Amino acid sequence: MPKKVAVLLATYGEVEEATFKQLYPNSSRILHYITSRIANLPKPLQIFIATVRSLKRKSYWGKLGYRSKLNEITRRQANALQAILNQNSNERTYVVREAYYFVPPYFETVMHESRDFDAIITVPMIPIESEFACGISCYIAINDFKEIAFQKVRVMKHLWNNDELVQICVNHIFERLPEILPNKIGLALTAHGTLVKDSKGETPKINTGYQETLDFFEKLKSAIERDERNPFASIKLGAMNHKFGGEWMPETLEKALEEFKAEGISEIVMFPFGFFADNSEADLEGVEEATAAGFKVHYVPCLNDSEPFIKWLASRIEQKVESVKLVFQTT
C-alpha cells in the first residue's frame, strides 16, 4: 500500500474579506505568535493593539477596494504541487494542503488532521527562515506531536539558499519586464523587514532572519547583474519594516527609493523576492509607498504558481521525503 504523505504549505494567510470579524482574530494571532517573541505585552494592551490594527486595516483596504490574493494563490500552489507529486510517484500518495498561521484553516488544525499520515512535510512559503516564519511551524509541531515530532514531521528550510531557485527568480523577472524600458530604470527587491536589535537595544536571542535576507538579496542581485539581459542601472534591497519591538533593519524600501531619486531614477521594477506568493505587503503596501514617492512602478508578481517554481518546489519536497524513509521502513 502506498505511504501517505501530508504536505503543509505554511504561510501567514490573510483575510479574504476585510471585516472586523475576520481581522480581529487575525491580528490577535499575529500578536500571539510574532509580537510575543520580541515583546511581553500585557493582555489589555494586546486587545487594544489588535482592535486598532483591525480597524485601520479595514479602513485602508476598504478605501482602496483591495482584496488579498494570498490565500487564493496558496490554494492554487497546493493543487499544482499535489498533481505533480502524485504524477511522479507510485510509492506514495501525497495530499497537499494550505495551513495558515493567522487565518483558518489554522496550521495547528491542519497538522492535527494529518496525524494519521505516515509523514508530514511542512513547507514554509516564506523562503527566508526565521523564528517569525518557519519557527512558528516548528513551535506548533513540537507542542502538538511532542516526542514523535522528529520522527514523523519534517520542516523544510534554507529554501532561499539554492542556485536553481535564484535562476528561476532571475528568469521570472526578465520574462515579465515591459517591452519598452526607459534609459535608466531601477530594480527594488522587496522583502519583509526584520529586527536587528530588541527593545532593550540588544542583539535578539532568536533568529530574526536578518543575515539570511541580506545573503539572499546578494545572491539574487549578483545573478541579475551577471545576466546579459540585465537593463537595470541600480538594484536595491527594500525591506518593509514595522515600527515597534526594537530596531529594524536599515535597508528599507524608503531608503532605497531615496537613493534611486539621488541617482536620477524615476521608474522602477519591483519584485518581492522575500515572498513566494503575492500579499498585501508585496502588491499593495510596497507599490503604494513607491508610487506615493513619485515613482512609476512596474510590479513583477511573486513566483506564485508559475510552472518552473512549482516543479522546483515539488523536487525539493520529494528530496525531503527521503529523509523520513526510516519511518516508512519501520511502520
For residue range 182-220, list pLDDT tens digits in order.
Answer: 889 999 999 999 999 987 888 888 889 999 999 999 999
Cell, residue 258: 531615496
H helix intervals, 114-246: 134-145, 149-152, 163-174, 210-226
Cell, residue 240: 518593509
**For residue 82, what are the CA distances in angstroms to 6, 271, 310, 311?**
10, 27, 10, 11
DSSP state of 153: E
Cell, residue 89: 510517484
Exposed, middle or buried by CB within 10 Å (0-12, 13-18, 19+), for 11? buried
Strand ranges for the chain from DSSP E: 3-11, 92-100, 119-124, 153-155, 186-192, 195-198, 234-240, 246-248, 267-271, 296-299
What's the CA gap between 49 and 225, in Å, rounded? 43
Of 3-12, 134-143, 239-248, 277-286, least confident by mean pLDDT is: 134-143
pLDDT of residue 36: 75
pLDDT of residue 149: 66
What is the pTM (predicted TM-score) of this model?
Answer: 0.94
- Residue in 237, 176, 187 with CA at minimum distance from that of residue 212: 237
- Residue in 231, 111, 212 with CA at minimum distance from that of residue 157: 212
What's the CA gap between 282 and 240, in Å, rounded? 9
**Whole-number mean pLDDT of the chain?**
92
For residue range 54-108, list pLDDT tens digits in order.
Answer: 999 999 999 999 999 999 999 999 999 999 999 988 889 999 999 999 999 999 9
Is the CB of residue 216 less than 8 Å from the CB of residue 128? yes
Q: Which domains does the chain have, with CATH numbers?
A: 20-64 (no CATH), 163-299 (3.40.50.1400)
